[in-house]
Amino acid sequence: MYTKNDPIQASEKLYKAVEESIKTLAQLLDTPEYQTATKEGRWWTQLLGKAARRLSRLLDEPRLEYVWAIAYDIHVWGFHEAKYSTEDIRGDLDHAKWLLSYVKEILSKNKKP
């Protein structure tokens, strides 16, 4: 059951928000990682990491790679291993919020009339 101070659920939700943001940008820019994920029918973790690195370069935005690294760390240690507390991940919410805002901005610039 989910509770407000559940670090495991918070970790997974933060990770999912970052994962979906990376996938969205990769699809928008039709990266090789997106093409591979489409061909194979799924996103592998290494494809997400590679996509984050490529997107950082393509968009000249190093925070993309940084936010992915934080999200992956939280996914492993906060979700799978259950070693992080809510307090441990609270400060990382701002990174995920930034990424969501950044993706919205990129998408609004790329809308077709």
pLDDT at 46 over 90: yes
Angle at 19 between CA 14 and CA 22, to 5 degrees: 130
pLDDT at 1 over 50: no
pLDDT tens for 96-113 read: 999 999 999 999 988 754
CATH class of 7-106: mainly alpha
Where do the domains of the chain lie?
A: 7-106
Return the half-sphere exposure (C-beta side, CA atoms, 13 A cut-off) of residue 40: 11
| Predicted pLDDT of residue 113 | 45
